[in-house]
Structure 1
Amino acid sequence: MISSILLVALGFGIFALIITAALSPLETLSWWAGWTEAELEDPSPEHRNTTDTNAGTVSHTQQYVVYLSGVASLSGNFLLPREHSFIRKLRKSAPHAVVISDVFPYSPQGLPLLESPRLFDRTWRRVQKLKLDGRESILSALINLRNIFQVMVSADHRYGPIFNQGAASVIEHALLKAGYPLGSGAPITIIGYSGGAQVALGATSFLAARFKATISVISLGGVIASDPGLQYVSKLHHIVGDGDKIQKLGAIIFPERWAIVPHSNWNIAKHDERIKQYTLSDMVHAGVNGYFGRPERNGISNAERLVKLINKILNE
């Protein structure tokens, strides 16, 4: 009986995986064709949101920071507790910056998995309930896989430009909603965790054309391709934990990052010293020992070490 249930669950998982992989580019193409287009909220001053930024700094800010969550994300408003804690620490330590954290990077429309008609809508809601109850299950892997496929779409030479243009529009809208003054040239920093780093980099070329400002990307264990966005980013700060094996996948699965392709966007950016890597000790990709880990070692947590490094980068 138990073996039969396991076989059924495995069969469902494989079926869901195949369907999710096949439909990954479809969401991007349907958005591009206008089949699923949705109007974004008016970012005019009377509708701007200041609740998700450092209060009182919008009109005097020196820079804007946008955070893109990792592949476990369901919504820009549904961050894991460790991420929420990290964002609070970052806002407190960087009062000169407006920190935006409500962007969902794994949809060209920015639509959370729970707020649009999708094939697995009930599954996403079930996973959300499990996460809120503090319980993980095999269903949680479906969220990761679904978002990983979207990261692959972002890195794809065929579909990537379309997906990344949509992601850039979502980020642009969030910046304007938070009070970004167009034409001011205020610097923009996009912090991307895990797959969010690839989306951040992919959106850079479109954001640079729109804002005419200095745009930098901070990768937190990012799985990144040799993206054309590297031609437009002022600096890619690649922060990696010495025990993070996940971020190493980018250097393996994307051949244009290999040293034997010297004229790729990645290797040209490295040659021009526009990619800077920072290695943090005793840190893995996720969990209590991950980038947002809160247990203290020698009087300081991983999250606090990370915030300290990010502040140093922002102040350069």
Structure 2
Amino acid sequence: MNNFLLWVCALGPALLAEALLARYEVMAYSAGWRAPTTELPEGVPYARGAAPDSPPAAYLVYLDGIGKRRVRDTRDGGQLVKALLAGAPELRVLGQVQPYSPLAHPLADRPVWVWLRRRAGLALFLHNVMQIFVAADHRYRPLYNRAVGCQIATQLRLAGYLPDSGIPVVLLSYSGGAQVATGAVHELHTQLRSPLLLITLGGFHNGANDLTHAEHLHQLTSAYDRIERIGTWIFPQRWPLFRGSGWNRARRAGKITVHRLDPATHLGPRSYISPEARLPAGRSHLERTTDTVIELIRARRSATAPTDDRVP
């Protein structure tokens, strides 16, 4: 108990400061005090997969959950991205976007957070949680959406994307990444005018963002995902009663399709991206999730492919 109290006393001021300063980045961005980072560390490509010299089938941007702290890391060690690259070589995949930093500054590279990481990993976790709620706050949401939307658009251009090319952009988001993905839709449409397909995996978001410029949103979910279910409870814009919210307008327009991935959980050894958890047919949860994402992207391509009605 004494050790617990010591940790509370040590972390309390740091967490309070984080709660007060969580809005700093988005304010610094909007005021022009600091410029977003665009360069990647040496040896990190702007995209992997299909070669940039020929048009890929789609550009896929992976927006990870709240465990994202640096350019390279993901909660599963990059296994989902690797599986997508192996299963769909026609895609050009970006995994470096920092969804919880409007300034595109990796959290793990900041000196104060390097120090905290060695002593209190929970503080890193709470930082990104707070950023989600800043992104969902109606006072800061437009600024946050524009900042991260610009970050994604910049990274896509650096990866070879050409505005008005007609090549679809897929925003694949995990957990809190869905808040960022839905918020980036308007800015990406404005800057790139690209067809936008959203795929949320256990998506945790407030449902307030406008999805008018998204072609479709595929909601990959599970009855065993408690964290996603909490999001549908705590954000009124996700309730059917709030018919004017972006989420409910998109539902009435037929833009949202639900795909069940039972019995996957949000986290842990039975999560959506677990390579160990097995389905009755033998596939792992990771394999099923990967196959589902690839099928949705290819189905979209088939549905929009021009037909040749010419008589031979």
Query: How far off is 1:190 after superposition?
Result: 0.5
Within a 5 Å distance, the mapping from 1:18-167 to structure 2 comes to 18-38=16-36, 40-41=38-39, 50=45, 52-56=47-51, 58-80=53-75, 82-116=76-110, 119-124=112-117, 126=118, 139-167=120-148
Q: Secondary structure at the match of 2:78?
A: helix
* CA displacement, residues 212-244 of structure 1 (integer Å, 9 cap, x when unaligned): 111121111011112333222211111112211
* CA displacement, residues 171-201 of structure 1 (integer Å, 9 cap, x when unaligned): 1121112111222121101111111111011
Runs of 4+ in 1 over 4 A off after TM superposition: 47-51
Query: How far off is 1:13 after superposition?
Result: 3.1
Q: Which one-letter code corresponds to 2:165 in the other structure? A: S
Seen in structure 2, the aligned counterparts of structure 1 residues 199 and 247 have a Cα distance that, compared at 3 Å, is: same
Q: Secondary structure at the match of 2:274?
A: coil
Contact 2:168-2:194 within 8 A present in 1 as well: yes
* CA displacement, residues 94-131 of structure 1 (integer Å, 9 cap, x when unaligned): 111101111111000111013346x544113x27xxxx
Residue matched to 1:302: 285
Q: Over the residues paired in the alignment, what is the CA RMSD in angstroms?
A: 2.1
1:121 and 1:147 map into 2 onto residues whose CA distance is: 15
Q: Secondary structure at the match of 2:144?
A: helix
Contact 1:57-1:95 within 8 A present in 2 as well: no
Query: How far off is 1:62 after superposition?
Result: 1.8
Seen in structure 2, the aligned counterparts of structure 1 residues 170 and 271 have a Cα distance that, compared at 3 Å, is: same
* CA displacement, residues 248-301 of structure 1 (integer Å, 9 cap, x when unaligned): 122111112111112221111111111111111110001221111011523211
Q: Of the candidates 7, 10, 15, which is equivalent to residue 9 of structure 1?
A: 7
1:261 and 1:177 map into 2 onto residues whose CA distance is: 39
1:38 and 1:72 map into 2 onto residues whose CA distance is: 21
1:58 and 1:289 map into 2 onto residues whose CA distance is: 39
1:242 and 1:189 map into 2 onto residues whose CA distance is: 25
Contact 1:58-1:178 within 8 A present in 2 as well: no
Q: Secondary structure at the match of 2:172?
A: strand
Contact 2:49-2:89 within 8 A present in 1 as well: yes
Please, which runs of 5 or more residues in structure 2 have no aligned partner? 300-312
Contact 1:203-1:229 within 8 A present in 2 as well: no
Query: How far off is 1:48 after superposition?
Result: 12
Q: Secondary structure at the match of 1:65?
A: strand
Seen in structure 2, the aligned counterparts of structure 1 residues 289 and 296 have a Cα distance that, compared at 3 Å, is: closer
Residue matched to 1:229: 210
2:15 and 2:110 map into 1 onto residues whose CA distance is: 20
State the aligned residue count: 296
Contact 2:50-2:90 within 8 A present in 1 as well: no
* CA displacement, residues 56-99 of structure 1 (integer Å, 9 cap, x when unaligned): 3652312100001110111121223x241111110111111101
Seen in structure 2, the aligned counterparts of structure 1 residues 56 and 143 have a Cα distance that, compared at 3 Å, is: same
Scaled by the length of structure 1, what TM-score is found? 0.87
1:312 and 1:171 map into 2 onto residues whose CA distance is: 24
Q: Which one-letter code corresponds to 2:98 in the other structure? A: F
2:137 and 2:48 map into 1 onto residues whose CA distance is: 33
Scaled by the length of structure 2, what TM-score is found? 0.88
Q: Which one-letter code corresponds to 2:212 in the other structure? A: Q
Within a 5 Å distance, the mapping from 1:247-262 to structure 2 comes to 247-262=228-243
Q: Secondary structure at the match of 2:226?
A: coil
Q: Secondary structure at the match of 2:243?
A: coil
